[in-house]
Structure 1
Amino acid sequence: MTYVKNLAVAGIVPIPGRQPRRWGRNTASMLSLALLASLSGFVFAQSSEDEAFLDRFEFEVWVDASFERLGNMDLDSRRSDGLSAVVPELGLGIDIDVSENIDGYMSLLAEGWQAVDRGRERSLEENESSLNVSELYFDFYEITDELSFRVGRQAFADTREWLYAEELDGIRAFYDYDDLSLELSASREREFTRDIFDNDASEERVNNYIVYGNYQLTDDHQAGAYALVRDDQLDSVNPIFYGLRASGAATDSLDYWLDLGHVRGRDGSDRLRGYGVDLGGTYRFDRPLEPSLTLAYAFGSGDSNPDSDVDRQFRQTGLHDNNGLFNGVQDFSYYGETLDPDLSNLKIVTAGLGIRPSQLSSVDLIYHHYEQDVATDDILEGSLLLVPTNGESRDVGQAIDLVLGYDAFEDLRLRSRLGYFMPGDAFGNSASDAYSLVLGFEYTF
């Protein structure tokens, strides 16, 4: 979801880590690109007699464009604070067959953000464009029969993006043996600049250390465990995330998931001791249009005693995105398109109905009910709303989302996501409804 970036570009919220240009790190990034290109060129040259140079490359080009709209995010209908934008993207992916045991991949993204309506905030005129190195890595296979490595800027993403959905600069080891798979990694976010023409390297110095294990219990069930350390070199916030998870098919018609999370570590002088859970299931009926029913519950603990030196509020990793599918072809923010909160000091009950008009299309109607674990007068963690709760009521509100997806042809995908949030007593009696809209397409050549 690009709403947060959109709001930041418009000046409504600040862009974290945005600093003046620093040529040192930008130059380091370009040198890294040159070094990797030289390495691959050297290896290619060694085998040019055996195989044509261009046969070692595979190219993919895609175009993505969307219209996005946020309305009444301050919950005040007396102000026209709507924000609309067009978000185009042109991507190039290159697979590189370096040698028998080495592969490479690079993706470049030309992205833009163009405001088309700012409500009454006519002064918010800043638009944005960039050419980004989204991924750039090499895979090293067959270190042993079970062990391989990936080095460089790479995508970290779990199925529901509950833990992470980010491109990180680092090294990752993969170990696969029978039904067991393990991952170990060390990384940083934007250690070098992402934008080729402008330095957007992160000013943060957060080292990420991840251990992730998954075991295929049967053909239909799998279980996993993880530990994720975020070691902030410039601040005293050092959370450690532990968790267990399971997913699979209980029957031919019923899929399920379960995530159990616990956060420890320190935030300044406070000890972190929060916990969270997310569980649910989707049942598919054997009827025309393949109707489905999804029920889910998520809970992130709050802190009932903020004056103590133990912070019991659960927090997610900061690398997450909370995006996934139920039984359709189009992913969405499964905690709500408009509110889109983190699972922190929050209870979320979700019910969804879906149909599949064809194997290439889907319609999902989703309902959410939100309640704080502990009433607080603060901005909801991760939320797009611009106003805090009042600390008097735990009733955050309700939301309805409508999600449509259509894989029109083999290479063309259409999407639409409409969200409508109805605030509860936690925002006072005068709060009015907010909404969000995304219309877009993706075409792959």
Structure 2
Amino acid sequence: MMRPVLLRMFTACSLGIAAGGAAAEEFVDLRTTLIVEAAAERNFTLERGNVERAEEYEPQLRLQARFFPERRVWGLIEAELIHRIKRERGEPTGTDNRLNLTHAYLAIEDALPDTRLRLGRWLQRDEREWLMDENLDGVHLEYDRGRWQGELFLARVSHWRRDLLDHDSHGEPVNFVAAFGRHEMDRKWVKDWQIGAYAVRQHDVSADDTWLNHVGLRSHATPDKGWRHWLELAHVGGREGGERVDGHAVNLGVTYAFDTAPLRPRLTLGYAYASGDPRRGDRGGGAYRQTGLQSNEATFGGVAKFRIYGETLDPDLGNLHILTAGLGLDLGRELSLDLVYHRYRQDVLGKLRETELDPEEDRRDDRYLGDAFDLVLGWRPSERVKLEAALGWFRPSSRFRSDDDDDAPRAGDAYSARLEFNYRF
């Protein structure tokens, strides 16, 4: 009995790949994407002389199937087959294989007027991926009526296995309840302008007296010409390990595109601030912390997304002041180049946390951390092809030294590089 059923399913999927049969279009829409990611880092311990290096390569095959795409009730399954190769100086090359389930949900259109209900696993992203960029398991309700949109969900990260080849690939037992509201502004002088508010509650059920409430207001405008802007006003409160939490953050910036000039230059100026705690630095009760699900990736009007707080340091926004300046150019059709500068300073003197770096000698005698430069290239010649590449350079301040000697020179610079190539069949 099973063999004829499997044969019919295989035949339907084959027709979907050919994209030629009407019956296949009604049943399943298949997409296949080849992804190649590569990343390298150099001297993330900020040493001089004994410089560490590491590289990682991840060829991936992403398979996505959307079932009954034109119907009121439809489903989506997406999986990524990943082969990872990791090399570190002085260490043997390591490899592993993963089969990540990234989407698996049932969707119901208009369960309530102007809504979509999703049950299962989906990818949750917000503006500039500042709060969330993660696959969640749970229940998700979207509302979309004209200029008003909203989201409400109850979820957990990897409640079910993420890697189908690994029985232990479950996430931490942290529940998220979130509500987002957005309104599209209709103004002649600002295009693609959206304002919104959100509330996110996260509760770690494995820890005693640990829960956080994130609330905020936001404004984003992303027109192709003229002024673009972003603004985040955020507060986090609650309890963490029995200690009261009360922190706040501001993230704002503007980009202006000279649309009629050669190479269409774009100038960006941004500032981000997150409070620290005078008693315990970035993890005390007065310190702001992000949700832990963010990726902090966006664009300044170019083709490629990049890490908006720096490619090499790549910090979470906590106990920091970050000044950002950028120059972007359109080198051709769907080909962009961005040069970005960051200057970092702690709000309260404390240990460097929640970054990619692990410095050997941090004297903690200066709130100024250092400067960074990023070069970002993006190319999208068609809807099927995308290339993103970024080079990062972090130059530490004099608080980081090569050893514990009082006369030791400043620590060494750190570098990073990454590349991502996508081809959709």
TM-score when normalising by structure 1: 0.84
Question: What letter corresponds to residue 341 of structure 2 in structure 1?
Answer: Y
Matched, 1:363 2:337: yes
Q: Secondary structure at the match of 2:129?
A: coil
Aligned length: 394
1:275 CA drift (Å): 0.4
**Alpha-carbon distance between aligned partners in 2 of 1:419 and 1:333, rounded to the nearest angstrom:** 10
Cα 1:388/1:343, change in 2 over 3 Å: farther
CA displacement 1:114-136 (0-9 Å, x = unmatched): 02x4213x25x432211111111
1:442 maps to which residue?
Answer: 422
1:407 CA drift (Å): 1.5
Matched, 1:223 2:195: yes
Equivalent residue in structure 2 for 1:132, among 69, 88, 100 = 100
1:175 CA drift (Å): 2.0
**Alpha-carbon distance between aligned partners in 2 of 1:280 and 1:252, rounded to the nearest angstrom:** 16
1:383 CA drift (Å): 3.2
Q: Secondary structure at the match of 1:393?
A: coil
Matched, 1:257 2:223: no
Equivalent residue in structure 2 for 1:350, among 299, 304, 324 = 324
Question: What letter corresponds to residue 295 of structure 1 in structure 2?
Answer: L
Farther-moved stretch of structure 1 (91-100 vs 262-271): 91-100
Query: 1:18-417 maps to which residues of 2 (within 5 A)?
Result: 52=23, 55-97=26-68, 100-115=71-86, 117-120=87-90, 122-123=91-92, 125-202=93-170, 204-218=172-186, 220=191, 221-236=193-208, 237-248=210-221, 252-285=225-258, 286-306=260-280, 311-376=285-350, 378-387=351-360, 389-417=362-390
Cα 1:99/1:61, change in 2 over 3 Å: closer
Question: What letter corresponds to residue 440 of structure 1 in structure 2?
Answer: E
1:9 maps to which residue?
Answer: none
Question: What letter corresponds to residue 129 of structure 1 in structure 2?
Answer: N
Q: Secondary structure at the match of 1:64?
A: strand
Q: Secondary structure at the match of 1:55?
A: helix
**Alpha-carbon distance between aligned partners in 1 of 2:135 and 2:361, rounded to the nearest angstrom:** 31
1:148 CA drift (Å): 2.2
Q: Secondary structure at the match of 1:426?
A: coil
**Alpha-carbon distance between aligned partners in 2 of 1:291 and 1:138, rounded to the nearest angstrom:** 44
1:95 CA drift (Å): 1.1
1:66 CA drift (Å): 2.5
Equivalent residue in structure 1 for 2:395, among 422, 433, 437 = 422
**Alpha-carbon distance between aligned partners in 2 of 1:72 and 1:198, rounded to the nearest angstrom:** 32
Greater strand fraction, Structure 1 or Structure 2:
2
1:354 CA drift (Å): 0.6
Farther-moved stretch of structure 1 (379-388 vs 410-419): 379-388
Gaps of 5+ in 2: 13-21, 402-408
Question: What letter corresponds to residue 286 of structure 2 in structure 1?
Answer: R
Does the 8 Å contact 1:373/1:394 carry over to 2? yes
1:112 CA drift (Å): 2.0
1:368 CA drift (Å): 0.4
CA displacement 1:361-411 (0-9 Å, x = unmatched): 0000000000000111x2322434354743211010000000011123442
Percent of aligned pairs with the same amino acid: 34
Gaps of 5+ in 1: 1-36, 45-50
CA displacement 1:276-296 (0-9 Å, x = unmatched): 111001100120111110100
1:261 CA drift (Å): 0.8
RMSD between superposed Cα atoms in Å? 2.3
Cα 1:100/1:86, change in 2 over 3 Å: closer
**Alpha-carbon distance between aligned partners in 1 of 2:105 and 2:162, rounded to the nearest angstrom:** 14
Farther-moved stretch of structure 1 (337-346 vs 96-105): 96-105
Does the 8 Å contact 2:251/2:272 carry over to 1? yes
TM-score when normalising by structure 2: 0.88
**Alpha-carbon distance between aligned partners in 2 of 1:361 and 1:148, rounded to the nearest angstrom:** 35
